[in-house]
A and B are shown apart, each in its own frame.
Chain A
């Protein structure tokens, strides 16, 4: 929320972004088709970008769209398409009877409780932004300064996170060793030449 007085367009943009975010989130869960879920996820992410814009964090809005909506959801879609969009998977099966109503009830209680606590709680109104005081024309610069000073350690630690991501992806994508007998392996070679990673 902006520290300055909220203008009518700001409130309108906030309401619009909140509606897009929530609508998209409900759509992700409610859609039966996984592709529709992914598209709804894009809507949610664009809504978040809109919320960033409303808070004058233009760079983060752009990153949100380029990295999340642009790269990560496309990766999701990639996987969904490859695994088969039209494969029917029954999600009606309930391993524990009555878990769905219970879950809905629990979510309602927790969400209601959190909202009640937040409404009652006093928001600390001094620090409205991590990079205060912001200069709306140079939010990237302010972000750069903060990354290389206050969050220097966190920034370098992110590199470690990227290593784990890559090694993990390679490890999981690699074909399990010695699980296929020779005949099956020869069969695989006929069907898809050059697919083996190892």
Chain B
């Protein structure tokens, strides 16, 4: 009974939140101008050529990895918290155990960093348009080099 009492403020918050959300809807429906938007008003940018096809979704996988790191360390914190509460009672053995756990978890962080999960920003890479044609081969075509002549 007493436990449930502790959570009454949260219930109050929920009720307040629901009231605010519904009040906002009511207010906007009362106060907003009632005009139907035209078709061009709904178009992207309200002007220009209407795209016929949607571009295929392209998203960096790196977002997932950051989210992954977050979840992993979230779980580690969940274990650290009870340990911290009982720190004195658990003594040295507890420190060793939590240390082992943390080492293993931080090894995964190291792996993620090495995989580039945290290196953001544009990666500038030069790729050869035609790997078979290098400057070497192009020049050799005009003035044959001694090795070519020997062959």
Touching in the complex, A and B, CB below 8 A? Answer: yes
Residues of A near any B CB (own CB < 8 A): 7, 9-10, 13, 53-54, 56, 58-59, 63, 66-67, 70-72, 74-75, 78-79, 82-84, 136, 138, 140-141, 143-145, 147-148, 152, 155-156, 158-160, 162-163, 165-167, 169-170, 173-175, 182, 185-186, 189, 191-198
A-B contact pairs, 12 of them (CB 8 A): A75-B71, A138-B85, A141-B85, A141-B86, A147-B83, A158-B75, A165-B68, A174-B61, A182-B127, A186-B127, A194-B122, A197-B62
A141 to B59, CA, bound (A): 43
Other 15 A-B pairs with CB < 8 A, given A67-B71, A193-B124 = A9-B1, A53-B4, A67-B78, A74-B67, A75-B68, A156-B100, A160-B104, A163-B108, A166-B111, A169-B68, A170-B117, A185-B127, A186-B127, A192-B58, A195-B59
Cα-based distance from A59 to B84 in the complex (angstroms): 13
Residues of B within 8 A of A136 (CB): 3
Once the chains bind, are B71 and A71 in contact (CB under 8 Å)?
yes
**B-side contacts of A194, CB under 8 Å:** 60, 120-123
CB of B7 closer than 8 Å to a CB of A: yes
Chain B residues with a Cβ closer than 8 Å to the other chain, count? 53
Report yes or no: A56 in contact with B112, Cβ–Cβ below 8 A: no
Known: A53-B4, A155-B97. A82 touches B75 (CB 8 A): no
A190: shortest Cβ distance to chain B, in Å? 11
Q: Determine if A197 and B61 form an interchain contact, defined as CB atoms under 8 angstroms apart.
A: yes
Which one of A56, A143, A198 contacts B82 once the chains associate, using CB atoms below 8 Å?
Answer: A143
Interface centre among B67, B93, B101, B127 (most CB of A within 10 A): B67
User: B8-27: which have CB < 8 Å to A?
Assistant: none
B114 CB to closest chain A CB, in angstroms? 10
Q: Which of chain B's residues have a CB closer than 8 A to the CB of A159?
A: 100-101, 104-105
* Distance in Å: Cβ of B11 to nearest Cβ of chain A: 10
For B63, B85, B89, B111, the residue with the greatest tally of chain A CB atoms inside 10 Å of its CB is: B85
B116 beta carbon closer than 8 Å to chain A:
yes
The reply to whether B104 and A195 form a contact with Cβ atoms under 8 Å apart is no
A65 to chain B, nearest CB (A): 11
Nearest chain A residue, comparing its CB with the CB of B129: A186
Is the Cβ of A84 less than 8 Å from the Cβ of B74? no
User: With a CB–CB cut-off of 8 A, which chain A residues contact B108?
Assistant: 162-163, 166-167
Cα-based distance from A163 to B101 in the complex (angstroms): 11
A52 to B121, CA, bound (A): 43
For B125, the closest partner residue in chain A by CB is: A189
Which residues from chain B contact A160 at a C-beta distance below 8 Å? 104
**Chain B residue contacts of A158, Cβ below 8 A:** 75, 79, 101
The answer to whether B58 touches A195, judged by C-beta atoms less than 8 angstroms apart, is yes
Interface pair A59/B81, CB less than 8 Å apart: yes
B7 touches A78 (CB 8 A): no
- The answer to whether B127 touches A59 (Cβ under 8 A) is no
| B71:A72 contact, CB within 8 angstroms | yes
A162–B104 touching, CB < 8 Å:
yes
**Complex: A78 Cα to B75 Cα, angstroms:** 19
Interface centre among B1, B58, B61 (most CB of A within 10 A): B61
CB pair B127–A53 under 8 Å, yes or no, is no
Contact A167 B97 (CB under 8 A): no
